[in-house]
């Protein structure tokens, strides 16, 4: 977005004439040191007591001598200020100010006080600066000194911004900017733009903030100030981070880093490296983040900044399970924050040290640190840090089996959190208390705690108004309450089989799935409110603003007033219900995300499932997992092994599934491992499978990467892959991110039969490594090569006979190709022959690598958040070349995030490749599959038929086509 800065800094048409001394000062400010020196010397000959000439000559000529005591003190103070000798500068400038005041020299008083104010800003003594600057502004006005007035306004604006008094600051900064522009003083222009950029950023006017920072960069460039340019590049990068434009951010930060290294600007270099590390932290590139934080820490002069970098490094190490290393880093961070006087972060560091010690099972030390954090937080009146430390202490005691002590700590944490509105700690404390009650056999009490926790989750989300900023960082932590609630309901079902607890567990699982989708939207910074019409937004904002105001006043209300406020909140929430109902009518797709209505078991059986369909929903848990088996007239909840065992078996099988060369044509190694997984995942529902023709699977965790079609449903079958009893030989198989998503898809209007064409986006031009999106790099796509055998795939698709056949290839295979929906172009199907990347560490950064348009600011990476914003009305999207660098944790969120985004953007189904198919395999598979679609076969049936054909197809190019590596990768979600 391009924003004109004329409206930001309208100055006078022509600069007013400057007094001679200010003209000399202007020359110095513009880099004309020789001219400034000459003008100052000449001025002092005629006006030996003129403090401005003294100021300029002291700056321009460090050898100049001043006979008058006050002038000598001023010169010494100015020179010591330039040398960062703050103590000596303060002494000299104070002596000069007092002398000028005593002699009645107003100009001298102005200059000395002006320099003192600048010194106080440099040393962060903002109260002293705020007291001095209005004096300088008044003196400058009375003496007719426009530059002095502009500097006073500039510095007042800066101090007010740093004190977060931004509304008052903007007026001073605008006036200072106008004078700087009129008198062509680029350094002051840059300073004003940077301060105004902070005002805009605090108002979240990010485009205007970015425009100010770009204008500052231009001003520093005109001034020849390389340090200022490097600083601006750093600040521009931070705005791109705020905007979620991480590739642009990284580009700016790398430019700032290079310039800062060249000129030796260590603080700027530290800042650039710290923010580059932050980007890597965000996208899950942890090792790179650690390396950059280490260098940023070494260069940081400010102890607070050093402490931040160390704390972030420790957090990464703890996340990676490297707790011994984390503890050493936390010790350094602790010392830095003590030096900075940052009590809040000192308490936080004590807390995380306690957590790491407990993770290392050094519980006595860990609990001691947590108690220290609690005492420290209480001493400094830090209720958030106190509540966190109490809550972590409670969970550590729970791990030790000290249940009564755990309950006491968790209750105390919940009390502090509830009193101060920290809903995330309240929810986690309730979860801990539920675990205590469950361990003590009090299942009804455990359920009551969990119901309260889940109610908090839903209430906070509802009142957030779809704000990504509020949701991100909280809702991704609350899945544990849903998981525990399902387990408790499972326990109750085992004890009371006829009480319907199993059905309620199914409904809870649907709430959890709805939660995980909103988590993804929040983390991808998709603000759902922008999808609603203006009228809806205004009405919603009014209601939510009223609720927020009442909640704030509720904290200090007496009981009678509190009851009235609670009633008013309930009334406003009923208005929100009405608004939700209207929205569901006007835009059901948006409403399902903004106000999710999880599908109930009764709805799944009566509205979603068709005759002959079996729904299998898996829910993996730390202590136990569960399987819900649903048909139109049957339902069962079954217990499965814990997440760790199931995911270990999946991980062991995946190399044999993904790589033909691991097993070759012999099934001797594959069959036992695959059959064991089938025994755990499918055999418990053998009865239901017998009567089903199609299986709909809602996976969880690593199961997202397991093609169930490739599991043998019976023992035996021989040594060849073609003889194994694969599930796909007997059933059609499709997947869904949730039952609710399937419900919405099946309620969507039928796709028009008049649209029968195929749009293909294929073989994009891969960006050079230095231009590549940071998202692509972290997803394991560094140095991406062209899609293998794209030409053959395009030819195969063209030969299937779809009309129209629209091809976007090479440079045209870009985001711009998706400007019009496939339906509007007469196309039923949208096919991508481009690298799809699943980011498991940070699923919001999954996406497609398309052709870049650097001139248009497009890095070529089509991310999840960008896909959500598209209109891709079509029957099906196909992603034929996908890959994932699977790390230690494979939750499946990278894959499911990408498919969910396409489903929300308008696709009725998504066929995606779980791994790259070797050789010409993808082209051959797609030729057969699209041939089935062209003949009118439904997606699931065409996909099953293609796979069965390959299993029975013998060999091609020396490869056994029955090997799952050649056909099992392609799975259908939705449809």
Q: Tell how far CA 288 is from the center of its chain.
A: 18
Question: Which residue spans within 118-181 are E strands per DSSP?
Answer: none
Q: Are 688 and 946 in contact (CB under 8 A)?
A: no
Q: pLDDT value at position 420? A: 80
Domain 756-936 belongs to what topology? Rossmann fold (3.40.50)
pLDDT, position 901: 86
Using the predicted structure, report yes or no on whether residue 89 has a pLDDT greater than 90. Answer: yes
**Under a CB-based contact definition with an 8 Å cutoff, are residues 317 and 290 in contact?**
yes
Q: What is the mean pLDDT of residues 73-88?
A: 92
| Residue 206 neighbours by CB distance under 10 Å | 18
pLDDT at residue 6, rounded to an integer: 28
For the chain, the residue count is: 975
Average pLDDT over residues 503-511: 94
Q: Taking Cα atoms as reference points, which of 921, 915, 974 lies closest to residue 737? A: 974
Per-residue pLDDT averaged across 812-840, rounded?
88
Please state which CATH class domain 226-301 belongs to.
Answer: mainly alpha
Specify whether the CB–CB gap between 857 and 787 falls below 8 A. no
Instruction: Tell whether the model's pLDDT for residue 947 goes beyond 70.
Output: yes
- For residue 292, the model assigns a pLDDT of 96
Confidence at residue 473, expressed as pLDDT on a 0 to 100 scale: 39
User: What's the pLDDT tens digit per position in 871-910?
Assistant: 889 999 999 887 654 444 556 565 677 888 898 888 999 9
> Mind spelling out the 3-state secondary structure of 446-463?
HHHHHHHHHHHHHHHHHH
CA dihedral 196, 200, 202, 203 (to 10 degrees): 140
Higher confidence at residue 574 or residue 316? 316
At residue 377, the pLDDT reads: 96
Across-strand partners of 720? 666
Tokens of 665: 């044509």
Q: What is the rounded distance in angstroms from the CA atom of residue 369 to the CA atom of residue 363? A: 10
pLDDT at 868: 82
Q: What is the pLDDT of residues 406-434, one digit of tens each?
A: 999 999 999 999 888 788 899 999 999 99
SS3 247: helix
Q: Is the pLDDT assigned to residue 921 strictly greater than 90? A: no
Tokens of residue 792, six digits: 């053959």
Q: What is the predicted pLDDT for the residue at 939? A: 96
Q: What is the pTM of this model?
A: 0.79
Q: Is the pLDDT of residue 754 over 50?
A: yes
pLDDT number for residue 592: 60
Lowest mean pLDDT segment, chosen from 70-79, 251-260, 346-355, 783-792: 783-792
CB 913 within 8 A of CB 879: yes
In the chain, % of residues over pLDDT 90: 65
Residue 91, H or E segment: helix 86-103
Average pLDDT of the residues in 151-177: 93
Please give the average per-residue pLDDT across 61-81, as a whole number.
89
Give Cβ neighbours of residue 742 (< 8 Å, ≥ 6 apart).
599, 608, 696, 698, 736, 974
* Confidence (pLDDT) at 288: 92
pLDDT band at 5 (very low <50, low <70, confident <90, very high): very low
Cis bond before residue 804 (omega within 30° of 0): yes
Q: Please tell me the predicted confidence (pLDDT) of residue 587.
A: 63
Report pLDDT for 885. 44
Contact by Cβ (8 Å): 219, 227: no
Q: What is the DSSP letter of 249?
A: H
What pLDDT is recorded for position 469? 37
Over residues 584-614, the pLDDT tens digits come to: 566 665 556 566 678 999 999 999 999 999 9
Per-residue b/e over 513-525, b at no fewer than 16 CB within 10 Å? Answer: bbbbbbbbbbbbb
> pLDDT for 615-635, tens place per residue?
999 999 999 999 999 999 999
- Lowest average pLDDT, out of 245-249, 708-712, 912-916, goes to 245-249
* Residue written as token pair 């010409």: 920
Reply yes or no on whether the pLDDT at 534 is more than 60: no
Whether 426 and 478 have beta carbons less than 8 Å apart is answered as no
Q: Contact, 432 vs 391, CB < 8 A?
A: yes
Which three-class secondary structure state does DSSP give residue 973?
strand
Evaluated on CA atoms 430, 436, 439, 441, the torsion sign reads: negative
pLDDT at 794 over 90: yes
The mean per-residue pLDDT over the stretch 151-162 comes to: 95
- Residue 422's pLDDT is what? 81
pLDDT at 471: 37
Q: What is the pLDDT of residue 900?
A: 85
Band of residue 202 on the pLDDT scale cut at 50, 70, 90? confident
Structure tokens given for 476:
């991704």
What pLDDT does residue 584 have?
A: 57
**Tokens linked to 871:** 């209109």
User: Which pLDDT value is given to residue 12?
Assistant: 36
- Answer whether residue 31 shows pLDDT above 70: yes
**CB burial string 734-769: b at 16+ within 10 A, e below:** bbbbbbbbbbbbeeeeebeeebbbbbbbbbbbbbee
Tell me how many helices (H) and strands (E) the chain has. 41, 15
Mean per-residue pLDDT over the chain, rounded: 87
CA-wise closest residue to 913 among 971, 831, 962, 840: 971
Distance CA 846, CA 736 (A): 18
Q: Are 710 and 728 in contact (CB under 8 A)?
A: yes
* pLDDT tens string 452-487: 998 887 776 555 544 433 333 333 445 689 999 999
């Amino acid at each position: 977005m391009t924003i004109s800065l004329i409206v930001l800094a309208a100055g006078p048409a022509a600069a007013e004439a400057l007094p001679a001394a200010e003209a000399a000062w202007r020359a110095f400010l513009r880099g004309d040191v020789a001219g400034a020196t000459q003008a100052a010397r000449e001025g002092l000959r005629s006006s030996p007591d003129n403090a401005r000439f003294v100021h300029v000559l002291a700056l321009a000529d460090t050898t100049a001598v001043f006979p008058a005591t006050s002038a000598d003190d001023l010169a010494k103070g100015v020179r010591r200020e330039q040398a960062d000798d703050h103590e000596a500068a303060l002494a000299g400038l104070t002596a000069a100010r007092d002398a000028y005041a005593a002699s009645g020299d107003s100009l001298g008083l102005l200059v000395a006080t002006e320099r003192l104010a600048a010194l106080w800003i440099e040393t962060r003594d903002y109260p002293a600066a705020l007291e001095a600057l209005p004096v300088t502004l008044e003196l400058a006005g009375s003496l007719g000194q426009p530059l002095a007035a502009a500097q006073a306004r500039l510095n007042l604006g800066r101090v007010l911004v740093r004190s977060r008094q931004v509304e008052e600051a903007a007026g001073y900064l605008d006036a200072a900017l106008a004078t700087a522009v009129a008198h062509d003083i680029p350094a002051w222009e840059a300073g004003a733009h940077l301060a105004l950029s902070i005002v805009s950023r605090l108002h979240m006017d990010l485009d205007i903030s970015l425009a100010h920072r770009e204008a500052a960069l231009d001003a520093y460039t005109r001034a020849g100030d390389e340090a200022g340019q490097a600083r601006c590049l750093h600040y521009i990068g931070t705005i791109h981070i705020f905007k979620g434009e991480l590739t642009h951010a990284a580009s700016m930060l790398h430019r700032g880093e290079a310039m800062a290294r060249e000129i030796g600007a260590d603080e700027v270099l530290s800042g650039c490296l710290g923010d580059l590390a932050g980007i890597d932290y965000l996208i899950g590139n942890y090792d790179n983040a650690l390396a950059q934080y280490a260098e940023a820490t070494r260069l940081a002069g400010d102890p607070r900044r050093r402490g931040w970098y160390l704390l972030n490094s420790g957090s990464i190490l703890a996340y990676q399970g490297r707790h011994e290393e984390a503890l050493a880093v936390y010790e350094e961070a602790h010392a830095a924050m003590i030096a900075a006087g940052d009590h809040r972060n000192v308490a936080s560091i004590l807390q995380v040290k306690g957590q790491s010690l407990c993770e290392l099972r050094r519980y006595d030390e860990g609990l001691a640190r947590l108690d220290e954090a609690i005492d420290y937080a209480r001493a400094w009146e830090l209720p958030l840090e106190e509540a966190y430390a109490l809550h972590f202490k409670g969970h550590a005691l729970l791990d030790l089996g000290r249940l009564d002590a755990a309950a006491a700590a968790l209750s105390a944490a919940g009390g502090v959190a509830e009193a101060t509105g920290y809903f995330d700690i309240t929810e986690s404390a309730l979860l801990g208390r539920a675990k205590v009650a469950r361990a003590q056999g009090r299942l009804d009490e455990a359920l009551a705690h969990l119901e309260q926790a889940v109610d908090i989750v839903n209430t906070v989300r509802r009142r957030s108004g779809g704000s990504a900023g509020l949701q991100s960082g909280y809702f991704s932590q609350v899945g544990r309450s849903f998981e525990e609630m399902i387990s408790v309901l499972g326990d109750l079902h085992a004890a009371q089989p006829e009480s319907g607890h199993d059905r309620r567990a199914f409904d809870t699982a649907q709430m959890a799935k709805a939660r995980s989708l909103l988590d993804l939207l929040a983390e991808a910074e998709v603000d759902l409110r922008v999808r609603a019409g203006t009228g809806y937004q205004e009405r919603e904002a009014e209601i939510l603003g009223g609720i927020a105001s009442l909640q704030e006043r509720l904290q200090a209300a007496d009981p009678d007033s509190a009851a009235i406020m609670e009633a008013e909140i309930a009334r406003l929430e009923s208005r929100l219900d009405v608004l939700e109902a209207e929205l569901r009518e006007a835009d059901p797709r948006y409403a399902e995300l903004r106000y999710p209505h999880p599908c109930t078991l009764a709805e799944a059986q009566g509205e979603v499932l068709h005759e002959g369909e079996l729904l299998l929903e898996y829910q993996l848990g730390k202590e136990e997992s569960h399987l819900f088996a649903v048909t139109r007239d049957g339902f069962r909840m079954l217990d499965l092994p814990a997440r760790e065992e199931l995911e270990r078996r999946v991980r062991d099988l995946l190399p044999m599934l993904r790589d033909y060369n691991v097993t070759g044509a012999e099934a001797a190694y594959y069959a036992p491992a695959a059959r064991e997984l089938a025994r755990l995942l499918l055999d418990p529902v053998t009865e239901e499978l017998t009567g089903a023709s199609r299986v709909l699977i809602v996976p969880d965790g690593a199961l997202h990467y397991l093609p169930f079609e490739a599991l043998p449903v019976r023992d035996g079958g021989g040594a060849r892959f073609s003889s194994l009893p694969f599930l796909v030989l007997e059933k059609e198989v499709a997947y869904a991110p949730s039952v609710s998503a399937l419900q919405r898809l099946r309620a969507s209007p039928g796709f028009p039969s008049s649209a029968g064409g195929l749009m293909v986006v294929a073989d994009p031009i891969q960006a050079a490594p230095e231009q590549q999106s940071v998202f692509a790099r972290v997803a394991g796509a560094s140095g991406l090569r062209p899609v293998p055998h794209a030409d053959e795939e395009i030819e195969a698709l063209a030969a299937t006979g779809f009309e129209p056949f629209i091809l976007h290839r090479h440079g045209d295979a870009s985001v711009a190709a998706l400007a019009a929906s496939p339906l509007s172009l007469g196309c039923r199907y949208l096919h991508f022959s481009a690298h799809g990347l699943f980011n498991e560490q940070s699923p919001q950064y999954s996406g497609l690598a398309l052709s870049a348009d650097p001139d248009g600011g497009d890095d070529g990476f089509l991310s999840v958040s960008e896909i959500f914003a598209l209109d891709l009305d079509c029957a099906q999207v196909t992603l034929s070349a996908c890959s994932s660098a699977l790390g230690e944790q494979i939750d499946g969120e990278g894959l499911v995030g990408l498919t969910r985004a396409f489903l929300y953007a308008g696709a009725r189904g998504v066929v995606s490749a779980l791994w790259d198919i070797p050789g010409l395999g993808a082209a051959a598979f797609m030729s057969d599959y699209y041939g089935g679609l062209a003949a009118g076969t439904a997606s699931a049936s065409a996909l099953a038929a293609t796979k069965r054909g390959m299993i029975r197809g013998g060999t091609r190019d020396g490869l056994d086509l029955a090997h799952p590596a050649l056909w099992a990768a392609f799975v259908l979600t939705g449809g």
